[in-house]
Amino acid sequence: MQPQSFVKIFSGTNTMYLAEKISASFGQNLGLVHKIDFSDGEYTVKFDETLRGSHVFLIQSTFPPADNLFELLMMIDAAKRASAASIVAVLPYFGYARQDRKDQPRVAIGAKLVADLLTAAGVDRVITMDLHADQIQGFFNIPVDHLYSSTIFVPYIESLGLTDIVMASPDAGGSKRAHQYSKHFDAPLVICNKHRPRPNVVGEMQVIGDVKGKNVILLDDMIDTAGTLTAAADKMMEEGALSVRAFASHGVLSGKAYENIENSQITEVVITDSIPLRRESPKIKVLSVADMFAETIACVYNNETIARHFVFRK
């Protein structure tokens, strides 16, 4: 991919591992920016090259701590004050996306707050991947390019050469995603029905559909503690599945996630590098989204369509 003279790509501190791969795929080096820490814990950011008239792409996943989000906001503000022609926030993982509605009294809608903060800081466009809820795009009054990990996962699933496959969702909320995969692969769809007494705790689990003698592909947008995922996989194996492989865009992997995965009957968990792994695991495979984001950055800069990057089209 040919470098663009007016494109400058920068990274926040904790997404440097992915930003370096994206910029290399795009065909140029990352821009120079550094974080300045003060003794009291306060910090600021400074770009070490001119941005005047440039189209600036700022790469930062906003996983915890909140410093990742705030660093991105400060980078946006600094770029705006440095007279950048346009500022695009590239969020491989959009944090706080699970807070997309008021599902109980007196709670915040964190996803809308993040959208407002990014807009107020001065961003012109957002590029992200596999939002927890599609309607989060509507929280913005600026363009949002919403990419899908199916671009990465579908070729990998095809490369496995599995027969008798079944597409499955670990809960009813992910049935739309699993249904798209089932149509693409012309495979049956299975859904797990779960009762969650409180966040990150899974109670009763039921499998709706036939998995006996099947190789199950379990699909989700993120894996947090992996409680739901592993409970679903173990239940399917109990009901006669040959194997269960889990695919999720974002490997949050908090709490006992690694232990839950390694102690389960899951054959393999496949995630992207939108969030860095805390440690490696023999059951976890990471596929990179660097090329997909690099191609999207090029398309945005050149005013080209990004539709060709979607495996599933309506």
Residues serving a catalytic function are 194
- Comparing CA positions, the residue from 56, 87, 89, 95 lying closest to residue 72 is 89
Whether the Cβ atoms of residue 188 and residue 167 lie closer than 8 Å to each other? yes
| Tokens linked to 194 | 């779960």
Q: How many CB atoms lie within 10 A of CB 50?
A: 11
CA distances from 29 to 12, 19, 56, 288, 311 (A): 14, 10, 13, 18, 29
Q: How far apart are CA 140 and CA 301, in angstroms?
A: 20
Q: How far apart are CA 67 and CA 49, in angstroms?
A: 23
Sign of CA dihedral 74, 77, 79, 85: positive
